[in-house]
Chains A and B, each alone.
Chain A
Amino acid sequence: MKCLVTGAAGFIGSHLSEYLIKKACKVVGIDNFMDYYPRSIKEANIACLRKNLNFEFIEGSLLEVDLLRLLNGVDVIFHQSAQAGVRASWGQNFKIYSDNNILATQMLLEACKQSPVEKFVYASSSSVYGDTKDLPMNESSMPCPVSPYGVSKLAAENLCCLYYKNFGIPTVSLRYFTVYGARQRPDMAFHRFFRWALEDKPLKVYGDGEQSRDFTHVDDIVEANWLAFEKAMPGEVFNIGGGSRVTLNEVIELMKELLGRELKVHYQGTQKGDVRHTLANMTKAGEKVGYKPKVSIRDGLKTEYEWVKKLVSGRVVE
């Protein structure tokens, strides 16, 4: 089986590509190395993959490449690429988000009309819910994003549903809830916290730290992608969470345990576009595709800590 993984050099895309290779798939990865964070980190993400003959990699943009050629022989698409960052999505930057998150998805879906695939798995986001009153968040809740980023992810998700209904493209959308683990992007909270802790700097927390998230380990996300390919009915949307709601303050307590020392914390004002709480209702994902998160926050944090430690000490590659 041949898979296309978009965003293959990124945090989730690189883990997913490794998983697919282990499942004896051929993988074509594409990534545009957007300068959102250092290229060296992304290069390290795929260093191991690139030794594998079943992995082909292209540096390119979905907005530019010849998608029909790219899809030649591809059985499944795992569309993971997106311009990330909730807080950066305001203002002039929005074009980057509409191009890379909405337009690129639409172009890929269009290409599938001519080059059919078995499944098109789209990486959506819990940010489509915004500050909903419904907790846990249900797939059937009214989406109400509070950031332009969330709007762009929801628009692309809606396009996936539309292309299924109108053209039969077998799309499945997975709404990821705050993903963490080794290779987490440098702008994300846990990565920053560990880095600051290792550099003996105070941890900067937006708000009072009592905001909570359904943190999801990247291994569980990867597994969910495979289940979505194998078992999901096309046209469906699924919440993919980690199974529990944890506050940032609780995370910091766990980090103190991991590091075996106290950590200084500086609380700062809240940020526009930040959501107070997230929690996934995973009844649907459990019943329809057999998804069940396996990695606890305690174990998961340890994997990320070990990786950030290597990164900070300059032993990046793995």
Chain B
Amino acid sequence: MAISQELLDILACPKCKGDIYLNETKDGLICDRCKLLYEIKDDIPIMLIDEAKPIEK
């Protein structure tokens, strides 16, 4: 069970307040602008800047 669309709709990147989207493996939310991944653990989106993982590219 992934997180619901309803929940996704009320989430934004806590750093830039911009849009985020579910990654392919559906275990994280990505902010392209900040290049950050917010993990989803046990179906709980962890929307804390300190916990976000930088996306390498």
In whole angstroms, what is the CA distance A73 to B6 when docked? 11
Residues of B within 8 A of A58 (CB): 7, 11, 44-45, 47
Residue among A28, A65, A73 with the most chain B CB within 10 A? A65
Q: Are A60 and B48 in contact (CB under 8 A)?
A: yes
Residues of B within 8 A of A66 (CB): 11-14, 17
In whole angstroms, what is the CA distance A57 to B11 when docked? 11
Q: Are B14 and A60 in contact (CB under 8 A)?
A: yes
Q: Which A residue's beta carbon lies closest to that of B4? A: A56
Residues of B within 8 A of A32 (CB): 48
Decide: A59 near B44, CB < 8 A? Known: A64-B49, A72-B9.
yes
Q: Which of A33-76 contact B (CB under 8 A)?
A: 50, 56-61, 64-66, 69-70, 72-73
Q: Total number of A-B contacts with CB less than 8 angstroms?
A: 48
Residues of A within 8 A of B22 (CB): none
Residue among B10, B12, B43 with the most chain A CB within 10 A? B10
Q: Which B residue's beta carbon lies closest to that of A66? A: B12
Residues of A within 8 A of B11 (CB): 58, 65-66, 69
Task: Give the number of residues in A that approach B within 8 Å (Cβ atoms).
Answer: 16
Q: Are B43 and A65 in contact (CB under 8 A)?
A: no
Q: Are B48 and A61 in contact (CB under 8 A)?
A: yes
In whole angstroms, what is the CA distance A83 to B4 when docked? 29
Decide: A50 near B48, CB < 8 A? Known: A66-B12, A69-B12, A72-B9.
no
Residues of B within 8 A of A50 (CB): 43
Task: Give the number of residues in B that approach A within 8 Å (Cβ atoms).
Answer: 18
For residue B3, give the distance in angstroms from its CB to the closest CB of chain A: 8
Residues of A within 8 A of B45 (CB): 58-60
For residue A33, give the distance in angstroms from its CB to the closest CB of chain B: 9
For residue A199, give the distance in angstroms from its CB to the closest CB of chain B: 30
In whole angstroms, what is the CA distance A59 to B9 when docked? 15
Q: Are A56 and B48 in contact (CB under 8 A)?
A: no
Q: Are B14 and A28 in contact (CB under 8 A)?
A: no
In whole angstroms, what is the CA distance A53 to B12 when docked? 21
Interface string of B12-54 (1 = CB under 8 A from A): 1111010000000000000000000000000111111100000
In whole angstroms, what is the CA distance A225 to B13 when docked? 31
Residues of A within 8 A of B12 (CB): 65-66, 69
Decide: A59 near B47, CB < 8 A? Known: A65-B14, A66-B12, A66-B14.
yes
In whole angstroms, what is the CA distance A1 to B47 when docked? 25
Q: Which B residue's beta carbon lies closest to that of A28? A: B10
Decide: A64 near B44, CB < 8 A? Known: A72-B9, A72-B10.
no
A–B complex contacts, Cβ < 8 Å, 8 sampled: A32-B48, A59-B47, A59-B48, A60-B47, A60-B48, A61-B14, A66-B14, A66-B17
5 closest cross-chain pairs (CB), A and B: A66-B12, A60-B47, A64-B14, A66-B17, A59-B46
Additional A-B contacts beyond A59-B48, A64-B47, A72-B10 (20; CB < 8 A): A32-B48, A56-B4, A56-B7, A58-B7, A58-B44, A58-B45, A59-B45, A59-B47, A60-B48, A61-B48, A64-B14, A64-B48, A65-B12, A66-B12, A69-B10, A69-B11, A69-B12, A70-B10, A72-B9, A73-B10
